[in-house]
Amino acid sequence: MTPTPSREAAQAAPARRGRIRACLAAGILFSLVAAWLLLLTTPEARDDERAFTTAPACTAPGGGDADCLRTVTAVLDRTEKETGRKTPSYWLYLTEADGTSTRTRIESSPERLPAARPGANIEVTYWQDQIRYVDFGPDRRPTNADPRESFRMPLAIGLLLGVLGAMFLTGAAATAWSSRRSPRAFPWQVALTVTGGTFLTLFAAMAAWTGDNIGDTLQLTGVAGVVVLALCALAAPFLHRRHRGDDTIALEPSVLTEEACFPGLIMGEVPYAGHAGYLVAGPGALATTPDPTGAFHRKAAPRTLTPLRVRPPYLTDPTGRPDYDGRAVVVECEDNGIPVLVITRKKDAPAVLGALGPFPAE
């Protein structure tokens, strides 16, 4: 006898508590890090950019004030390619006019900057005791210490983590709400939250690199958030109607004329169950196998295995049930009164039904 949805939901509630706690912990952590990045790190980087772009040239000999732009001549001793980075960059090893040896890194490659050759005379400009840009004659290149646009990285990461934090917190609330109504491992409320949060995360990350300033970026992200919430609100009634009922998935059995092998698993207190990994479905026969070709080490299911219904995965399913990247369905069966679950992808479930035979008459 198939348990009622309310009974299954009650059984799934304890299993879902761990997921709720994990979502809450991740949401709080992401939100705290996002607040630190958006309220402290990003404004500080923006202030550094303003201070650098408005800094005057040093007038005192030796540039005693670190907040002015101090330019000195130097000789380029050698270049060295930076390893372990996707963006091409290399180190410049310099000797300044007073004999000071130092180095700085620029985002480029020696091939794209022919003037960066050993022995070349160059000028380097300091601000707050760091080299901010290098002049190769008329060609000026910023170094990795250039503060311009540096606010965008913490802004992008902060927005991304902020949206993710909100998504996890909302997902925890949706999970808690749905746990009293459905035993589904992936309820539509959580799926809708993840979908909306993913789109908003991508938009926020892109807005951080295209907005003119912090305020405009936050405003754009806020407007996008309102749009996403409105679309989710419009989709919710449709998804609610679509997922009403006892979760039974209507699938027609395939008419099998030859064997087919596909990912799947049989679970239950029966000798042919196990973590084999693949199913072989043929006319009137179903077997498990560890062989992706289905040719070896088969373990056949008996003809007494009878399908009852097809449903989505539940939290009450046994440990080790595969999800197949969210495409899994469960064929509930029985074998002489013993519950048996056949898990496979939704597109392969008709072949399982075709191998097991028709559902029993009501």
73 and 132, same domain (yes or no): yes
Comparing CA positions, the residue from 156, 125, 155 lying closest to residue 143 is: 125
Does 269 fall in a domain? Answer: yes
Residues 228 and 193: their CA atoms lie apart, in Å, by 10
321 and 290, same domain (yes or no): yes
Of 95, 126, 142, the position where a domain reaches its end is 142
32 and 161, same domain (yes or no): yes
Q: Which pTM does this prediction carry?
A: 0.71
DSSP state of 112: G
How many Cβ atoms from other residues are within 10 Å of residue 108's Cβ?
A: 15
**pLDDT per residue over 2-40, tens digit each?**
545 455 555 555 556 777 888 899 999 999 999 999 999
210 and 337, same domain (yes or no): no
Does 248 fall in a domain? Answer: no
Enumerate the β-bridge partners of residue 243: none
Full residue range of the structural domain in which residue 121 is found:
52-142
19 and 163, same domain (yes or no): yes
Q: What is the pLDDT of residue 358?
A: 76
Counting every residue written for the chain, the total comes to: 362
215 and 351, same domain (yes or no): no
For 323-332, what is the mean pLDDT? 89
Interaxial angle between packed helices 214-242 and 152-178, expressed in degrees from 0 to 180 and rounded to the nearest 10: 20
Does 255 fall in a domain? Answer: no
**pLDDT per residue over 121-132, tens digit each?**
889 999 988 999
Does 47 fall in a domain? Answer: no
Does 249 fall in a domain? Answer: no
80 and 64, same domain (yes or no): yes
165 and 303, same domain (yes or no): no
For 241-259, what is the mean pLDDT? 82
Comparing CA positions, the residue from 167, 152, 148 lying closest to residue 52 is: 148
pLDDT at 109 over 80: no
Burial 303-326 (b: 16+ CB within 10 A, else e): eebbbbbbbbbbbbbeeebbebee
Q: What is the pLDDT of residue 227?
A: 93
326 and 180, same domain (yes or no): no
Total structural domains within the chain = 3
- Write the CATH number for 311: 2.30.29
87 and 231, same domain (yes or no): no
Of 83, 110, 142, the position where a domain reaches its end is 142
Does 361 fall in a domain? Answer: no
Of 142, 162, 189, the position where a domain reaches its end is 142
Residue with tokens 């979502």, as numbered in its chain:
23
Does 298 fall in a domain? Answer: yes
Q: What is the pLDDT of residue 65?
A: 74
Does 252 fall in a domain? Answer: no
Tokens representing 9 are 């939901």
- Asked whether 260 and 248 are in contact (CB, 8 A), the reply is no
